[in-house]
Structure formats: structure tokens, C-alpha cells
Structure 1
Amino acid sequence: MKRLEEIQRIVETHIEAEIEALNIREPKHLYAPIAYALGNGGKRFRPRLLLMAMEMFSQLTPQGLDAALAVEVFHNFTLLHDDIMDDADLRRGKDTVHKKFNPNTAILSGDAMMISSYNYFKGLAPDLRAKVLDIFTQTALEVCEGQQYDMDFENQSDVEVGAYIEMIRLKTAVLLAASMKIGAIIGGANEVNANLVYDFGIKVGISFQIQDDILDVYGNPETFGKEVGGDIVSNKKTILMLQAMRDAKGDELDKLNEWLSKEVFDREEKIAAITSIYDKLNVRQKAEAIQQSYFDQALESLDQISVSVERKQPLRTVAISLLRRDV
């Protein structure tokens, strides 16, 4: 685990230096919110995974560190705009950017983050930069597509599990996968290996989001990091809810629809009632089976990458740790 901790420190040091630069940049009302958003914590999964993928094929370089910063800035841009769309008050326990400053400032600073993320790739050689920017641009568009599908699902009553998987692939998994593929390409990976790295990231990202759905209902709040049951309260169409809506019959279906249609309710009562329906329909076990299948596919892709087992071990370790959060 020592190398994983070193990567974490390298990422944090690079981000902290960027935050310091942003805090003295003018106009301050544009750049201070960006510094605030970047400094608001997080696990830094994407930059860490980018550098780990790079190290499978070569050594870390300043260009790789800047690429890691690019994906982290872009990721935080998506969170900033998500919070505006959701009118969220808190992000990681602190005021969201639009609450601390104001919505117009947040929108403009978010735009600047998205644009600036491209600038971090300028140190790459022209042919390499062209490859990386093609991936990055396609990924940015796909993340927007995923967000739109997620919003569309709020008003749809007939969302299929397969459509949900595609939504989380776009909204969550593609940026994780692209981060690793970009790192691999900067590290000198050939096309076959780079694509295997990408497939590994897609499958890990999907598996991670499915587990997040499960933990939102069945997780331990102390280890999960947030209060459980939020998805149930908001009628969010998670994989658990979609499985229940598909499998419920008779009284169970009537009870489920009744709770979904209530506008006034006791929070804990609703969570307990719908969790009970989930338990009777075994939707947790079904979701866990899907989650495990994607994770197994991820490891199969990792195994096929043509580098030594030792070089692949850090990514394997991180992937396993992502999927072993306490319940």
C-alpha cells in the first residue's frame, strides 16, 4: 500500500499548488470559487487512477501530473453544475459553491473549470495531445448525456435496468475509464492495452455505482459517509428501485406505488417500508449479483493487459478497496 499512499500525496500536493495559484488569480470572484471547489476534499479517485495506469507502462512525468489535474478539475466542474441543478445545499459537508457565493458566479466558475481542464494537456507532444483530447472531449460529451438521461428518468415510470446501467456508464464510469486510458496512453501503452485499461475502468465504474445504490439503503452511515435512505426518500430510480418495480406483484406493488406517490410522509417510516419490500423481493441480492458480475469482468480485462502482474497490482488493490466499503 505504500505506493498507493505516495500517489495520493503526489496528487494532493499538485492540487494544493493549483489551489494556491487560483487564490491569487484575478478576477478573484471567478477563480476563488474554483479554488474552493477543488479544496473541498474528495477521494481524488480519477487523478490517482490516471497516475497508476501511467505507472503500469512508464514513470510519472510532469505532463502526467497535469493530466491528472485536468480530470480532477473537470470532475469537480460536473459536481458544481450538478449541485446547481439539484439546488443542493451541501457537498462533502460544506456549502456548495452556489450557496457560498451565488448561482451566477457558480455557473461562470464552472464554465471556466471545464474550459481550463483542456489547458492542462498543453504540455503533451502534439500527436499525443491529439489522441488524449479526442478521448477527453468524447468523455465530456458522454458525461453530459448521462446527466440528461438521469434527469429524464425522474419523469419516466418505465425505466428498464439496462437503460439505468447505460446511464451510470455515461454519468459515472466513462470519466473513470477515460482517466485511466489517458494515463496509459501518456505512459506509452499500445492501443490494445489502452482499450483494456478503458474496459477495466468502465466495469469498475458501473460496479462502484451499483454498490453505491446498495449502500445508500443497507450501508453503515459511519463508514458509508452519509445518511442512508436518501435515494428512497427522493424516489430515485436506483437499481434497487427498478428491480423492485419490475418484480413487485399484488399487495407489494400496491404498497410500493402508494409510497412512491406520497408527497407528505414520515422519512423513517418510508425508508423502513420500502426497505421491507426490497427484502421480501430479494432485490439486494439481485443487485449484488449484477455488481459482482461487472467487477469480475473488470478484473478479467486487467488480467489481459500485457504488463507484469506486479505493475498491475496497484490498480487491482484500489479496485478491490473501492468495492469493499463497509456495510
Structure 2
Amino acid sequence: MYSIEELTEIADKGILNLSIPEEPKRLYEPIRYTLASGGKRIRPVLVLAACNMYSNSVDKALYPAIAIELFHNFTLIHDDIMDKAPIRRNQPTVFAKWGSDIAILSGDALNILAYQLLAKSDKEILSQVINTFNKIALGVCDGQQYDMDFETAQYITQEEYLNMIELKTSVLLKGALQIGGIVAGAPQSDIIKLGEFGLNLGLAFQLQDDLLDAFGNSSTFGKKIGGDIVANKKTFLTIKAFSLAKGKSLELLSSYFKAEGVDPLQKVQEVLKIYNEVGVKEITEEKINEYFDNALSALDKMSVNGEKKVVLKSIAEKMMNRDR
């Protein structure tokens, strides 16, 4: 079995050694820039780790693993255009550096390169790999549209929000793991369980992201605390707070999310007081633990022996211990 570190090195080398065309320079330079900017490589590592559960070699999973990472970066480039985001991974975004026109085209090219790599899968499994990948791709688009719709929606239910993050975040983890299992010839029952593992892990991960934005440590979380509150973003915490707050607390909460020109520090402090008053932190932690336990339960039910599950379990624990 490969270790997490070894799988990460395999994925990183494969991505950085890709043969990216030189011309047109303004099309491909942003792609090289994006891929060189790093990232945790979680998704390609999940592909390789899932494959390694059923095969001693991960070579045949490398192209699909890289394809998943290329697709992920394509979505980030386009997300940054829609959000007009200037910074990602502590560097200027492609949108900020080259403008929206080049960012759109480079993102499209990155997506096409992903499909080219997927097409190198063995013919016997190619159709299954492509179909799984297409479900991922369409699901992410669905999730992004819901996320944009929520920006102008007055009310969002907990169920609507969870469905959105399942599509926007979790389906990519689910599909990455399933593709790894497909490439390695895993039994269909285990491919289903790999999907359940990834889906629940993704939900736990995103809810923890929401939680850390409000209650995390900025030095370890890597983001400024309270950014979602300042941006009036509808997160699991916000939705729960609006459903639980009463009287003056609800009025105050509503006023802070409607008012313009409010001091950001004051807004964060006051909203956090209401979060604490209604127990949002504890409720979110309970939901995170529920999804994480569901993920581990799915992993436990897979047909391989315990030793072969260690790496996936370690990846899950590492993902969930950013500031916990």
C-alpha cells in the first residue's frame, strides 16, 4: 500500500509533468500557472487511494486522477470569474491576472484536456469512467447555479443548502473515489460504498468550512474569520440562526444581513453573539460528526480488509482536522 505522502507525490509529479502546449501562449500560460500554484491535491489522491485498495499498482489510475484535478481547477477558474475573486491560494487569480475573456477560454481548454486524459483509460472501462465523470461535471454545474440562485433568494431551507453543497462539493469527491474503484476493478457494491464515503465526507468537509469561517483560528484555517458573515453569505450556520433566533435577536440578525456600510468587525462580533445564543456552533458540530460517521461507516462496509482502508481513513481524518 502507498502512503498518503507517496500518493500525493505521484499525483503532483503527474500533474506538473503534463505536456501543455506552448502556443497560443495566452491560452496555455494561465493553465500552467494554475496547475503550478499547488493546492492539496486531495481529489487526485482520492482516485489513487481508492484504486490502491483493490490493486497494488496505481499506474492505470494516474490519468483519471490528473483529469479530476484538471476539472477541479477548471471549475475554480470559472468560479473566480463569477465571484470576481482577486486571490486564490495566496496568488492572483487567472481572472485578476489575465482578465475574464482569457480566463473563460483557458478554463474551457483545461476541461477539454481533462477529457483527453480520461480517454486514455482502458477501453473495457472507458464508458463507465466517462459516464461517472459526466455525472460529476453536471452535478458541479447544478450546484454552482443553486449557489448563485441563493445569493438573491430571501429564504433558504436547510435541505436546500445541503443539496447545494452536495452537488457543488461532495459529488466531486464521490466521483473521484468511484473512478478509482472502477479503474481497479472493484466490485460494484464497493463502488457504491466508495461513493457514499465520498459524499458524506464532502458534506462534513463543507460544513466544517462553514463552521471554521465563523469560529476557526485564522492562522491555521488560512482565511480571515467572519468572511461569510461580512459577505452576507447563506451558510448552514446562517440558515440555522435565522430559524432559531427569536424576538430582538432575530430582528438584530436580520438588520445586520440587510444593512449596508456596517463596520465589518462589529457585524461579525454581533452576529457571533447570536450564533452562540442559539447554539449554532454545537448544532453544526453535531451535523458534521453525523456525516463523518456515515462516511466511516461506508468505508467499514467495503469488502477489502482493514489494512487496505487505513489510507482512506487517514485522508478523511486529515481533511477534517484543519483546526480541530
Query: Counterpart of 1:51?
Result: 48
Deviations 1:118-156 (A, max 9, x none): 110222222301000000011100100000000111111
Give the aligned residue type for 2:306.
V
The answer to whether the 8 A contact 1:51-1:60 is kept is no
SS in 2 for 1:80: helix
Give structure 1 regions of 4+ aligned residues with deviation exceeding 2 angstroms: 59-63
Query: Counterpart of 2:60?
Result: 63
Residues of 2 paired with 1:305 and 1:189: CA distance?
10
The answer to whether the 8 A contact 2:241-2:278 is kept is yes
**TM norm structure 2:** 0.98
Cα distance, 1:119–1:2 mapped onto 2, change above 3 Å: closer
Deviations 1:7-47 (A, max 9, x none): 111111111101xx32x522111111111111112101000
The answer to whether the 8 A contact 1:210-1:291 is kept is yes
| Equivalent in 307, 311, 321 of residue 308 of structure 2 | 311
2:7 equivalent to 1:7:
yes
Give the aligned residue type for 1:216.
D
The answer to whether the 8 A contact 2:54-2:186 is kept is yes
Query: Counterpart of 2:234?
Result: 237
Residues of 1 paired with 2:135 and 2:49: CA distance?
22
The answer to whether the 8 A contact 1:63-1:123 is kept is no
Stretches of structure 1 that go unaligned for 5 or more consecutive residues are: none
The answer to whether the 8 A contact 1:142-1:174 is kept is yes
SS in 1 for 2:303: coil
**TM norm structure 1:** 0.97
CA RMSD of superposed structures (Å): 1.2
| Equivalent in 212, 232, 243 of residue 215 of structure 1 | 212
Query: Counterpart of 1:263?
Result: 260
Counterparts of 1:166-181 in structure 2 under 5 Å?
Answer: 166-181=163-178
Give the aligned residue type for 1:211.
Q
2:246 equivalent to 1:249:
yes
Residues of 2 paired with 1:279 and 1:197: CA distance?
36
Tell me how many residue pairs correspond in the alignment.
Answer: 324
| Equivalent in 3, 6, 22 of residue 25 of structure 1 | 22
Counterparts of 1:1-327 in structure 2 under 5 Å?
Answer: 3-18=3-18, 21-22=19-20, 25-327=22-324
Residues of 2 paired with 1:139 and 1:61: CA distance?
22
Residues of 2 paired with 1:267 and 1:171: CA distance?
28
Deviation, structure 1 residue 2? 7.5
